Amino acid sequence: SKRCRSKPSLLLPRSRKTKRTLIYQKSKMEADSKLNDLLEKSRIDRDSTVDGLVSSIEEAIDAIPEGLEVTSELAPSFVSEIGADKVEFIFKKPNGFRPVGSYSTRCMAKPDASVDLLLHLPKECFHEKDYMNHLYHAKRCLYLCVLKNHLLLSSSVEKVEWSALQNEARKPVLVVFPAKKVDHLPGFSIRIIPSAKSLFDVAMLSMSSNNLPSVTADGDSLPTPTYNLSILEDMFLEENSNLLENRLSQWKALPDALILLKIWARQRSSIYAHDCLNGFLIFVIVSFLARFGYIEKSQNALQIFTKTLEFITTHDFEGSGLFFTAGKTKILASTEENKKFKELFPVLICDPSTHVNLAFRMTSIGLHELRHEASSTLTRMKLSDGGFEEAFMTKIDYPVKYDHCIRLHLEGKIAEPTSVFCLDKEYWRIYEQKVHSLLEQGLGDRAKSIRVVWRNANQGSYVEDGLSVLDREPLFIGISIRSTENAFRMVDIGPDADNKEEVLKFRKFWGDKSELRRLEDGRIAECTVWETQQWRRHLIMKQMIEYIFERHLSLYSDDIVQLVDQLDFSLLYGDKDPTFGNSLYVFKVLSKCLLEIKGIPLNVSGIQPLDSALRLTSVFPPEPHPLVCVKIVERRLHEHMPSCIPTMEVMIQLEGPGDLEIEKTKTDFLLQIVKKLQKVKGITRPATENNVVFMGGYAFRLSILHEIGPDRVKDLSSTDKMLFFRCQHAKMIYGLQAGFPTYAPVARLAKRWVSAHLFSGCLAEEAIELLVAHVFLTPLPLGVPLSRFSGFLRFLRLLADYDWWSCPLIVDRNSDFGINDHKDINDNFMSSRKRDEEGRQNISSAMFLAAPYDKASEAWTTFSPNLSEQKRLVASARSSANVLSKLVLQEHNDSVQWESLFRPPLDKYDAVVLLHRENLPYPRRLFCFRLNLTKVLKHVGRRVHMLTDSYCLDIWREAMSSLRRSDLIGLTWTKQKSKVKQTKQLSLNQKKRAGEYNQMFNVLIYRNENEMKMKLIRKRF
């Protein structure tokens, strides 16, 4: 689905009150329409085909003969590694089946295509004390092994796989894929979940009981509450399902509300996890709200959705918890068992039996994430457009949510005795907590939140191969940075030297990194110092994390993949990221000289830099050129001297009203200013351009514009209007820089990507800066990006997902736009679309970017990108965003994979021109990797031409006029309507011209030999 945050409106109300009412009504109608469409597309009703497939699986299981002797030989590794003793039993048929969950209650939502089938384990297969020493878990698994082996022989089954109940490895479930396909449910499967109703005495599984004798401390037995609840969960699974289904059947809107909540949760990877939220817990919470009057039957699905999020945000799950009771009271009396629940688990949701804490897997970190997401969604829903896109359509996965992502590759790194895999808690859950604790202590106030998740129980063969294979999946860590100031801090101050106890703890944690220092305020304290170059300060956290894991977990750099610097190669100049400090210093000196100029009719009142290099957003800062700052001898020694001198544009504002008569004398003023500057030591000017001055090795191009109000912009000439737009844009970006330190590197990455994919000819760099600004100014529901990775990925997803055809993109710097401003922007947008209503292909610009200084999108996207270019841009952005997300989540560490993000898709072009790098002005700014010319030749049919045809020369004249900092040109063609003309005889001058071009162009590759005309030229920086 396309994102759109600002729907156009053509309403012309007579009063402000009427206007707001009409806008609200229109917005509500649009939201209701979207919601109904979403529910219609997502809802899965009960189906006779599905019912028939479920019945066929039940029949296949019922056909298994009884009396089979079952031993641990079916899964020897699994049985031994969970710590069970010798296990055997005689197979008996299940006591029955029952579909449960979303499908049976008609609240199943796409893309979920799985039906949960409850299987009642026969009591004859278990002894009364099998609740001890993982015997129940072992027999449960072996029982499923028997089912799997027989189901694979059935003609009604295509395949059978293993999964785990809520990522708990000791509780596997069977996933059966029927042979018959369900057309409207691709990938349909049936999950067989065992239930253990009445198998054991509940009293033996209390929270204070120890059912694993190996769990001790100093020789004393410890309670095993998590292990006990693992069994109790199966014993009360059917009873709790019945309660929820009965509640659901009494409410008309509840199924749709549950579907909305599931869609909302699935879009958020950080909360739809084993230690946080799942479909069953969503069901439980909504049922609680219905039972105790928090929601009413008259409310619709969206209102119930909102009430549920409000409850999640405000309710005290840690203290009060949730209790389902037989009476009307909401909270049960403070019994001993409930006290134990509160002491042992951070989150308490007690079932009607009061024996099971249904949220025993939820951690305090998971609850914090859940509340944060609920609060963020509610905040966005209170805005004018209702936040539909952000709530239900925006994917908030780990790569885009967290600023610093880490993968720990732990295969073979957690070699422990097999018994430790499953004690009270499983080893992987303990390891998650250990990693979180280390990072929380080490990073301190640098991190706002830390999320550690090890999704390892989906290894399909772990039942047969044993639990030791589960470490093949990497452990994933997501860190949200509190502030760049904290994250880039080079010194961490610990306890004072006289606090001996805290000093010992600090030294024990940091080891050799801890050192005693005298601080500026005179105190002597323990500190850790992280020395690094200025341009590498964004890597300080990476350095810290590597040290922490090496010291405390014996993990080294090969085991740790931190997603933080893999994109830096695209911004390197030589072997480092260049800084802008020198050019900014020279500009500051020039500004001072301009402000001190005397002897001209109007004094200089202000200096405004217009060049992106002077607002830190150009991909590369300008280099001081030896030709304008050093002696001839020193010039010859300069190894990488550029072949041209770039100019940085600077606008001068003069005092006065700027009336017509003064406007006519601007050129004279400019000449006088340049002459005055020449008298300053160190400032010169070229002989050919009167508005350019040289200073400190840099070239500055000067222009003049008087101070004018927004109401006079329409009266300006096109040149002055563009100068005004550039001035206002520069001021806006400067403001962003002050508030968002990460903005500049993200904008540089975005520009590098745009140019690398050959779109720099159709997307102005100011337009790119506005797109990146939108990412920072409209952060909900994600929060402001504080790293290059998250900011760049959000930029790509904005390009890929926004509904450019139907919606204007509004960049509101200080939330200054009111109702009238939005109406003006929407009116301008609709007018621009009506001009092109004859056909979308005729649209001159497919992007409408509205800014405070440009509500009509005149400045940067008036003529480009057109619809064809925009489609290609969106496709490239979607592809790059998908690649980047996969690189974050999956194991791809080689540089080739990361370089692919900046490789243009040459197969989309009809002709490709490769240039001689040695003839380009800035060859060091090009990517070091080379194009796969063999692949390109194969794509275009191995047609290579030299520049000898007359129509080629016309192409090159146009190409050369717009070529900037390129090593590659991609061309697309459109066929001429007229017949193919005969090739004209080349004149001597044309042949000479072709020879000159051939010195510049390396090779021209055609895909088509028909006579065509050039349609697009793209450049790569």
Q: Look at residue 20 and tell me whether its pLDDT is greater than 70.
A: no
The per-residue b/e assignment along 210-221, b for 16 or more CB within 10 angstroms, e otherwise, is bbbeeeeeeeee
User: Could you tell me the domains of the chain?
Assistant: 45-249 (3.30.460.10), 255-396 (1.10.1410.10), 400-490+530-564 (3.30.70.3020), 581-707 (3.30.460), 741-900 (1.10.1410), 904-1019 (no CATH)
Percent of the chain at pLDDT exceeding 70: 83
Q: How far apart are CA 518 and CA 499, in angstroms?
A: 15
Q: How far apart are CA 995 and CA 981, in angstroms?
A: 24
CA proximity to 451, closest of 478, 427, 475 = 478
Q: How far apart are CA 46 and CA 182, in angstroms?
A: 12
677, 683 in Cβ contact below 8 A?
yes
Q: How far apart are CA 765 and CA 867, in angstroms?
A: 19
Q: How far apart are CA 799 and CA 771, in angstroms?
A: 8
575 Cβ contact list (under 8 Å, min separation 6): none
Q: How far apart are CA 103 and CA 99, in angstroms?
A: 8
Residue type, 388: F
Q: Look at residue 136 and tell me whether its pLDDT is greater than 70.
A: yes
Which structure tokens are listed for 681? Answer: 């030591």
Give the mean model confidence (pLDDT) for residues 591-606.
Answer: 88
The helix/strand/coil state of 23 is helix
Q: How far apart are CA 980 and CA 978, in angstroms?
A: 7
Residue 689: the pLDDT is: 75
Residue 466: the pLDDT is: 86
Q: In the structure, what pLDDT confidence band is assigned to residue 14 with cuts at 50, 70 and 90?
A: very low
Each residue's pLDDT tens digit, 866-885: 888 899 999 999 999 999 99
CA torsion sign, 21 to 25 to 27 to 28? Answer: positive
Each residue's pLDDT tens digit, 368-384: 999 999 999 999 898 86
Give backbone dihedrals phi and psi of 90, rounded to 5 degrees, phi first. Answer: -100, 130
Q: Which residue has the tokens 């090739």?
A: 983
Residue 975: the pLDDT is: 55
Q: How far apart are CA 751 and CA 766, in angstroms?
A: 10
Residue 22: the pLDDT is: 56
Q: Look at residue 552 and tell me whether its pLDDT is greater than 60.
A: yes
Distances (CA, A) of 325 to 312, 322, 340, 684, 820: 20, 10, 18, 87, 53
Q: Look at residue 1007 and tell me whether its pLDDT is greater than 50.
A: no
Residue type, 686: P
In this prediction the pTM is 0.88
Each residue's pLDDT tens digit, 958-978: 554 444 555 777 777 765 544
